[in-house]
């Protein structure tokens, strides 16, 4: 705009001074909170992929028995510490379909070890939808159909076998059932206690807040691992593996609630000053109603993100306990129990495939972390 001393610039586009107050200003924000969070979460590729992956893992859990070729405790005395077998598709240049070579044990007189050599002249096709050992589908129905099994007379150790000849791949799938659910049960216990104490401390303040804070600090200052060990050593050894599993999960949950309570309390302290809370109080709402209807819903998404980030700690906790032999024990299968067999250096050096259970642990923990990060970043959908 050049300087025109008397003339001024006046916009000549049509202007309606009575712009309606009936129109919505931000129609895209007119949606329940979960929808807005979902829209923002969708843009986090890593979180989305992790979320989908975890969802598929959990969906697979009831069908672990169907997918696994062997049962969790099926021993194969002739194939102890067998190396992983490869699934081949071409035999002598022709496409034959998935097949394996049977492994033959040979004694190596120079290293005094059994060597497992695949017999490449004898391809055996893998059977699909075949009969195998019995298992309970989703823990309820007794079935014996498997997705794929070993051909007759040959073995199908996709990821090798352990010191008792049990298929590691099948055991990992069965182990997922316990390792993945321990986090969920622990989180429920921790949620319940954390929300209860955190909301009471944050909302009422004063003496109650002080007392709960001191309890939280004391619990957090106790060393984690020795406490876990002490509590799980106190579990009677004649309990069934399932009962032991539940107790372990509950113990992990009880020891984890202080962290959640602290973040609930901090959020409550800030939410309490929001004007809609004061408005509700002035209208005559009781404290319970204010917490239930105003504070908790506005805090739920933070809670879910915190929980998602706490689950890996529980999975690792259970793994650690079982690894040390004080959590789950045979015949229960979990990744920690499997790692128990890989405790000495000799096994790992000579039979490295016994340490494979580390991989699913790493992958699952990473997936939960990415998911939790993605959720936490999408939590405030109102800021643009």
Residue ranges in contact with other proteins by CB under 8 A = 1-11, 13, 15, 17, 21-22, 24-27, 29-33, 274-276, 278-285, 289, 293-294, 297-298, 382
Check if the beta carbon of residue 120 is closer than 8 Å to that of residue 106: no
In the complex, minimum distance from the CB of residue 291 to other proteins, in angstroms, rounded to a whole number: 13
- Output the six-digit token pair for 127: 């059977």
Q: Count Cβ atoms within 10 A of the Cβ of residue 109 and give its class: 0-12 exposed, 13-18 middle, 19 or more buried.
A: exposed
Q: Which of 156/271 has CB closer to other proteins?
A: 271
Of 110 and 273, CB closest to other proteins:
273
| Closest listed residue to residue 323, CA positions, set 209, 253, 225 | 225
Tell me the three state secondary structure of residue 333. Answer: coil
CB of 12 to other proteins, least distance (A): 9
Minimum separation from the CB atom of position 304 to other proteins (A): 14
Nearer residue to other proteins within complex by CB, 121 or 275? 275
Query: Whole-angstrom Cα distance, residue 303 to residue 264?
Result: 7
Pairing of strands 127-137, 141-149: antiparallel
The helix/strand/coil state of 197 is helix
Nearer to other proteins, 35 or 243 (CB): 35
CB of 280 to other proteins, least distance (A): 7
Q: Which two tokens stand for residue 185?
A: 């049960």
The total number of residues written for the chain in this structure:
384
Beta strand 88-91 pairing with 124-125 = unpaired
Task: Pick between residue 1 and residue 346 the one whose CB is nearest to other proteins.
Answer: 1
Q: How far is the CB of 361 from other proteins (least distance, A)?
A: 36
State the burial class of residue 47 (Cβ atoms within 10 Å of its Cβ: 0-12, 13-18, 19+): buried
Nearest CB to other proteins, comparing residues 126 and 304? 304
Q: Which is nearer to other proteins, 1 or 140 (CB)?
A: 1
- Residue 17: CB minimum distance to other proteins, A: 5
Shortest Å distance, C-beta 37 to other proteins: 11
State the CB neighbour count (10 A cutoff) for residue 242.
11
């Amino acid at each position: 705009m050049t300087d025109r001393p008397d003339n001024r610039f006046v916009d000549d586009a049509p202007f309606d001074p009575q712009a309606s107050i009936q129109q919505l200003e931000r129609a895209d924000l007119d949606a329940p909170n979960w929808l807005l969070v979902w829209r923002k979460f969708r843009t986090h590729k890593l979180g989305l992929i992790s979320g989908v992956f975890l969802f598929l893992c959990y969906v697979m859990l009831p069908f672990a028995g169907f997918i696994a070729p062997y049962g969790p405790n099926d021993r194969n005395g002739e194939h102890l510490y067998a190396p992983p077998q490869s699934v081949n598709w071409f035999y002598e240049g022709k496409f034959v379909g998935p097949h394996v070579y049977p492994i033959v044990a040979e004694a190596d007189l120079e290293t005094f070890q059994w060597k497992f050599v695949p017999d490449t002249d004898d391809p055996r096709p893998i059977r699909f939808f075949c009969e195998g050992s019995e298992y309970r589908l989703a823990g309820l129905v007794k079935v014996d159909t498997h997705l794929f099994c070993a051909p007759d007379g040959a073995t199908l150790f996709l990821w090798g076998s352990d010191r008792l000849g049990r298929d590691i791949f099948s055991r990992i799938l069965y182990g997922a059932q316990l390792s993945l659910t321990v986090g969920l049960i622990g989180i429920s216990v921790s949620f319940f206690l954390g929300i209860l104490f955190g909301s009471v401390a944050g909302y009422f303040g004063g003496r109650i807040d002080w007392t709960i804070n001191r309890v939280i600090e004391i619990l957090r200052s106790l060393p984690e691992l020795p406490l876990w060990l002490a509590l799980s050593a106190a579990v009677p050894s004649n309990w069934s593996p399932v009962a032991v599993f539940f107790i372990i999960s509950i113990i992990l949950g009880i020891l984890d609630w202080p962290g959640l309570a602290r973040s609930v309390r901090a959020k409550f302290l800030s939410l309490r000053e929001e004007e809609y809370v004061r408005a509700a109080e002035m209208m005559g709402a009781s404290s319970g109603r204010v917490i239930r209807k105003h504070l908790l819903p506005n805090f739920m998404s933070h809670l879910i993100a915190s929980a998602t980030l706490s689950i890996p700690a529980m999975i690792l906790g259970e793994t650690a306990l079982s690894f040390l032999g004080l959590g789950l024990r045979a015949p229960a299968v979990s990744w920690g129990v499997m790692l128990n067999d890989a405790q000495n250096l000799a096994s790992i050096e000579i039979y490295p495939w016994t340490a494979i259970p580390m991989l699913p642990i790493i992958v699952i923990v990473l997936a939960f972390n990415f998911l939790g990060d993605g959720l936490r970043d999408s939590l405030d959908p109102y800021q643009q």
